[in-house]
């Protein structure tokens, strides 16, 4: 460790780090465009200037290694003057069209300009114009006039995806970001350039102009697109007289799982989540009162005591799995997690995307839930009632003539609702909390509360209603069942960070 003084305050920092990394890590605001922790330094924007005692001129913090005893000033008059001059340069040809820019509210340029900008332009010459709303592929729209040429987007396609679709064309004030002729931006992680772009030059055609960002409420969630379980922000908003709606997913930094990025498939999967919200129970295809339908489930379970089979999705949370196990035990029912549908060999790659599309398959191992095909065949052959939870593949059981009752408990209506004697809706992935284990064995907590404004219960609440118990929170379920299985890790620990389970 080294000790440095920043604006008259001594701080301890890592001595092998870059100055900007440690300043940002210590909550000291340093304006920057081109530096990004995932892409490193480039030194082109000059926004991160600081004054270092003993140096004649201001230095860029993104290319200055820490030295013990350094004395740094980040807010002196001369630094403010330098920042103002750099911003004036950046804005010479910028349209300053914040009111109609989709980045407004989360734009670094707008923020720095409001802090130290020169509000009166000293230029009388016409601004150099660039191309506006250029579709460069992969749902990304480019406005060349707003670009500050930080090259984050170019370096992302060069260093992270290694697809190299973007480049800088021309020189001086005619320099623009562009794609090569006939080669649009096209890679499975392309939309990350929208998050990387510090200004409104790259925006998402999927999100732009749908909602002003200051209306959005960001919840911390886990993507359920595949077994990687990337950390995301779930940006949602409930307007008056409307349902709470998710407008976008954004990557949430997690050095143990996904770093700074997510894939485009996962990012756009919020649309399925918005669609998957069936709030009405059904009995043989006819709408039913929720309470009546739950009562019917209890009657069916009693009638087929010892002859029911619960078939679970590998994407349920640990809390849901353990609660269903309890319910199955009460009714002396069999339980299986066998599933072949949640695999797509074409989906996986060697970066984040995994071919196993389930969110919590490792939960089956932890909770001893059988997922072998041979056992499922045996259980199905001896059962009269089938209860599918979080999945919709009952048609595969048509050959078992002994199964006379089929029940579906799911977030969305089954495709062939008429084949079920009973359908009970449950809360979707983004409208309830829960713990999950990802493909690499990281135990993590998903805390989102998108409320669809319906009476729909969570799966855990359905179980407690059937068992005529008080409803339980995740904390209750951990205390009751999970703490004795997951030793040395507590729910409160995984609320802070993902933790690798040594036993998996």
Per CB under 6 A, residues contacting ligand SF4 are: 147-153, 177, 196-197, 199, 201-202, 223, 225-226, 228-230, 258, 262-263, 265-266, 352-353
Say how far apart CA 327 and CA 461 lie, in whole Å: 12
Q: Which of residues 38-77 bind ligand FES (CB under 6 A)?
A: 43-48, 60, 62
Q: How many residues does this entry show for the chain?
A: 504
Cβ closest to ligand FES, residue 88 vs residue 461: 88
Q: Choosing among ligand SF4, ligand FES, none, which partner's interface includes residue 32 (Cβ < 5 to 8 Å by kind)?
A: ligand FES
- For residue 247, give every residue at least 6 positions away whose Cβ sits within 8 Å of its Cβ, in sequence order, or none: 207, 210, 211, 216, 235, 236, 237, 270
Provide the edge-to-edge strand list for the sheet that holds 442-446.
Answer: 434-437, 442-446, 499-500
Question: Which range, of 31-39, 170-178, 326-334, 404-412, touches ligand FES by CB under 6 A?
Answer: 31-39
Q: Choosing among ligand FES, ligand SF4, none, which partner's interface includes residue 223 (Cβ < 5 to 8 Å by kind)?
A: ligand SF4
Regarding 366 and contact with ligand FES (CB under 6 A), the answer is: no
Cβ closest to ligand SF4, residue 31 vs residue 266: 266
**Size of the residue set binding ligand FES (CB under 6 A):** 12
Cβ closest to ligand FES, residue 11 vs residue 82: 82
At closest approach, how far in Å is the CB of 156 from ligand FES? 15
Q: Choosing among ligand FES, ligand SF4, none, which partner's interface includes residue 48 (Cβ < 5 to 8 Å by kind)?
A: ligand FES
Cβ closest to ligand SF4, residue 226 vs residue 437: 226
Dihedral of CA 437/440/444/447: which sign? negative
Among 33, 249, 364, 420, binds ligand FES (CB under 6 A): 33
At closest approach, how far in Å is the CB of 63 from ligand FES? 7
Say how far apart CA 43 and CA 29 lie, in whole Å: 17
At closest approach, how far in Å is the CB of 363 from ligand SF4? 15
Regarding 32 and contact with ligand FES (CB under 6 A), the answer is: yes
Say how far apart CA 369 and CA 332 lie, in whole Å: 15
Q: Please count the other Cβ atoms lying within 10 Å of the Cβ belonging to residue 323.
A: 24
At closest approach, how far in Å is the CB of 450 from ligand FES? 36
At closest approach, how far in Å is the CB of 474 from ligand SF4? 21
Map residue 435 onto helix, strand or coil. strand
At closest approach, how far in Å is the CB of 463 from ligand FES? 52
Cβ closest to ligand SF4, residue 224 vs residue 481: 224
**8 Å CB contact between 385 and 300:** yes
Map residue 464 onto helix, strand or coil. helix
At closest approach, how far in Å is the CB of 33 from ligand FES? 5
Q: Which tokens hold the place of 430?
A: 């983004």
DSSP secondary structure letters along 295-334: HHHHHHHHHTTT-EEEEE-TTS-HHHHHHHHHHHHHTT-E
At closest approach, how far in Å is the CB of 87 from ligand FES? 13
Taking alpha carbons only, the member of 468, 422, 425 closest to residue 300 is 422
Q: Choosing among ligand SF4, ligand FES, none, which partner's interface includes residue 300 (Cβ < 5 to 8 Å by kind)?
A: none
Provide the edge-to-edge strand list for the sheet that holds 59-60.
Answer: 9-13, 2-6, 71-73, 49-52, 59-60
Map residue 28 onto helix, strand or coil. coil
Q: Choosing among ligand FES, ligand SF4, none, which partner's interface includes residue 202 (Cβ < 5 to 8 Å by kind)?
A: ligand SF4
Regarding 23 and contact with ligand FES (CB under 6 A), the answer is: no
Angle at the Cα of 171 from the Cα atoms of 169 and 175, rounded to 5 degrees: 50
Binding site for ligand FES (CB under 6 A): 32-35, 43-48, 60, 62
């Amino acid at each position: 460790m080294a000790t440095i003084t920043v604006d008259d305050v001594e701080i301890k920092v890592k001595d092998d780090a870059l100055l900007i990394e440690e300043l940002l890590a210590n909550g000291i605001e340093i304006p920057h465009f081109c530096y990004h922790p995932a892409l490193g330094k480039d030194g082109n924007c000059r926004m991160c200037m600081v004054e270092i005692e003993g140096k004649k001129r201001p230095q860029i913090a993104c290319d200055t290694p820490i030295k013990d005893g350094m004395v740094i000033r980040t807010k002196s008059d001369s630094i403010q003057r330098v920042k103002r001059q750099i911003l004036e340069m950046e804005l010479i040809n910028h349209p300053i069209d914040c009111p109609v820019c989709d980045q407004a509210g989360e734009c670094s340029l707008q923020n720095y300009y409001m802090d130290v900008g020169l509000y009166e332009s000293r230029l009388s010459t016409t601004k150099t114009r660039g191309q506006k709303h250029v579709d460069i592929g992969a749902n990304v729209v480019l406005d060349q006039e707003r670009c500050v040429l930080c090259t984050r987007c170019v370096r992302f396609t060069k260093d992270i995806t290694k697809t190299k679709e973007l480049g800088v064309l021309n020189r001086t004030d005619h320099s623009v970001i562009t794609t090569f002729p006939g080669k649009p931006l096209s890679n499975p992680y392309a939309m990350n350039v929208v998050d990387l772009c510090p200004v409104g030059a790259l925006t998402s055609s999927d999100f732009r102009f749908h909602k002003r960002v200051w209306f959005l409420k960001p919840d911390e969630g886990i993507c359920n697109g595949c077994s990687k379980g990337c950390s995301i922000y779930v940006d949602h908003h409930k307007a008056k007289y409307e349902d709470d709606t998710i407008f976008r997913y954004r990557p949430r930094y997690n050095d143990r799982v996904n770093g700074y990025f997510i894939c485009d498939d996962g990012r756009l999967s919020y649309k399925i989540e918005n669609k998957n919200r069936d709030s009405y129970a059904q009995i043989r295809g006819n709408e039913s009162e929720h309470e009546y339908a739950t009562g019917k489930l209890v009657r069916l379970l009693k009638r087929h005591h010892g002859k029911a089979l619960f078939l679970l999705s590998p994407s349920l949370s640990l809390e849901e799995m353990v609660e269903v196990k309890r319910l199955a035990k009460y009714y002396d029912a069999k339980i299986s997690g066998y599933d072949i549908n949640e695999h797509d060999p074409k989906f996986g790659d060697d970066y984040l995307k995994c071919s196993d599309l389930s969110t919590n398959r490792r939960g089956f191992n932890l909770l001893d839930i059988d997922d072998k095909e041979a056992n499922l065949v045996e259980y199905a052959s001896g059962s009269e009632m089938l209860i599918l939870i979080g999945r919709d593949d009952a048609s595969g059981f048509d050959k078992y003539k002994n199964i006379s009752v089929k029940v579906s408990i799911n977030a969305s209506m089954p495709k062939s609702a008429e084949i079920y004697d009973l359908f009970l809706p449950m809360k979707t992935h983004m409208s309830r909390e829960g713990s999950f284990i990802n493909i690499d064995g990281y135990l993590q907590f998903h805390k989102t509360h998108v409320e669809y404004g319906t009476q729909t219960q969570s799966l855990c609440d359905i179980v407690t209603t059937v068992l005529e118990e008080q409803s339980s929170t995740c904390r209750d379920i951990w205390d009751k069942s999970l703490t004795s299985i997951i030793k040395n890790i507590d729910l409160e620990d995984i609320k802070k960070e993902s933790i690798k389970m040594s036993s998996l």
